[in-house]
């Protein structure tokens, strides 16, 4: 789903100061809450109020299918896998997914696998969006 949020390549992958600000606003407005998940650190979840609001819109069923798809595919991945995949998405957005894989992923087998997985995930997500 395209957005106008800008990302930069940061220490562990893409990072958006703009998205961070939006998340802080949602936390302040109590639409999102932070949950501790030892030993992995915090997770963000919808608050009960946000869940009630989301059930009241028709367009939400399409969004719910997309969220279910993403959580099923990414929910059990570790931070290292997610960082590699996020970097692959960033590179694809910046330079184009049409660039041959050998040019996009030159550093390691893990990077190559991240690009392959992201490419497949994007193909599969197009079926969900339709």
Residue 44 has a pLDDT of: 83
* Backbone phi and psi for residue 46, each to the nearest 5 degrees, phi listed first: -65, 140
Q: What is the DSSP string of the chain?
A: ---S---EEETTEEE-HHHHHHHHHHHHTTSEEEEEETTTEEEEEE-HHHHHHHTT-TTHHHHHHHHHHHHHHHTT--HHHHHHHHHHHHHHHHH-TTS-HHHH--S-HHHHHHHHHHHHHHHHHHHHH-
Check residue 53 and give its pLDDT: 53
pLDDT one-digit tens code per residue, 24-72: 998 898 888 888 888 877 888 888 776 655 555 555 677 777 778 888 8
Helical (H) or strand (E) element with 24:
helix 17-28
**pTM reported for the whole predicted model:** 0.63
Beta-carbon count within 10 A of 114 CB: 24
């Amino acid at each position: 789903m395209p957005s106008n949020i800008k990302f930069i390549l940061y220490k562990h992958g893409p990072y958006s100061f703009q998205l961070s600000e939006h998340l802080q606003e949602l936390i302040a407005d109590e639409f999102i809450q932070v949950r501790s998940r030892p030993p992995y650190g915090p997770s963000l979840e919808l608050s009960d109020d946000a869940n009630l609001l989301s059930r009241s819109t028709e367009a939400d069923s399409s969004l719910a299918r997309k969220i279910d798809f993403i959580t099923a595919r990414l929910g059990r991945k570790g931070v290292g896998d997610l960082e590699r995949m996020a970097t692959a998405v960033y590179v694809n957005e910046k330079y184009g997914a049409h660039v041959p894989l050998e040019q996009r992923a030159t550093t390691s087998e893990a990077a190559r696998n991240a690009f392959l997985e992201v490419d497949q995930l994007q193909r599969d997500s197009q079926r969900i969006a339709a």
